[in-house]
Homo-oligomer: A and B are copies of this chain.
Amino acid sequence: MNDMLAKTMLTPTSTAEILVDALPYIQLFAGKAVVVKLGGAAIDPESDRALAQDVLLLRSVGVRCVVVHGGGPQVDAMLRRVGKQPEFKDGLRVTDGETLEIVRMVLVGKINRDLVATINKSAGDEPVAVGVSGEDAGLLRVDQRDPALGFVGDVTEVRAELLLRLLDDGMVPVVSTIGADESGQPFNVNADEAAKAIAVAMGAEKIVYLTAAPGLLADPKDETSLIPRLTSAELRRRIEDDSVGGGMIPKLTACADAVDNGVPFAHIIDGRVPHALLIELLTKHGIGTMIKREANW
């Protein structure tokens, strides 16, 4: 409503001024790569549509976006559908061969496909989304983390050439995080970690985690206690302090690792807000939590 009101009142000139305000950001990010990690919990048709628009708009002004997705809830649903109970150990999915097959089918054959379809639908006559799995062209090489977890892998090497070529050709890669070890055996990879590894390998300018929360909260139970920015050192202290919600730890660690390995900016923003990505990149309205290596805000 409030929005409607504001839009109705916009004169041509004030509309132009908003575009003018976006100019320095567009100049700043043109030609740069941004890795966008979309958590399984943040995936739903409506916000996916808004994200598709954002990614296409950013592409049209020269930002090279890579979308990396997770899919925990969707995997759980499919496992149950085929009569298997999801099993976790210290928050990590125990992944036997059958589970791996379901994980791969759901990530690559369902969630990735739906995201590609949503972006291509928005793109009209120029369908530019291309699904990629970490197994393609050796994108994600992994080692097994722990035999007790089964086919769960840690990224040891990223071959980003395929992504770079697709971006050079104007495509928008959408990545499922299944990797392979040296023998070619597929492994499930944590999507937060994989997104970070890809951002580092590509020399990305930003990594943005779209979550189902407003960002990092000083008090996990209080949505108004958002921490707008902190350094990676501060973030690591909070992780060690146990003052952050357990579910956030892999994401937060990935953020700290990303900025400590050369990605200038990491963000955790609320994927439920329509156009959150666009707002973060192209407007003065910073949203969510920003992590940098140094405190030069």
Contacts and interface: CB of A to CB of B under 8 A. Distances in A.
Interface of A: 2-3, 5-7, 9-20, 22-23, 26-27, 30, 53-54, 56-57, 60-62, 81-82, 101, 104-110, 112-113, 116-118, 120-121, 126-133, 135-138, 159, 161-162, 165, 169, 171, 178, 180, 183-186, 273-275, 278-279, 282-283, 285, 287
A15 B12 contact: no
A71 to B, nearest CB: 11
Contact of A56 (B23, B62, B131, B161): B23
Given A20-B57, A104-B113, A129-B137, 15 more contacts: A12-B283, A15-B279, A16-B283, A20-B54, A20-B275, A27-B60, A62-B62, A101-B110, A113-B135, A116-B135, A117-B184, A127-B135, A127-B137, A161-B169, A165-B169
Contacts of A287: 12
A188 to B, nearest CB: 12
B109 A162 contact: no
A287 B121 CA distance: 31
A117 B186 contact: yes
A2 B279 CA distance: 24
Given A6-B6, A137-B171, A60 B61 contact: yes
A165 B165 contact: yes
Nearest to A109: B109
Contacts of A9: 2, 5-6, 9
10 contacts: A6-B11, A12-B273, A16-B274, A19-B278, A19-B282, A104-B109, A108-B113, A117-B180, A131-B133, A131-B136
Contacts of A131: 108, 131-133, 135-136
Contact of A117 (B82, B105, B116, B135): B135
A136 B129 CA distance: 6
Contacts of A273: 12-13
A195 to B, nearest CB: 19
A125 to B, nearest CB: 8
A82 to B, nearest CB: 6
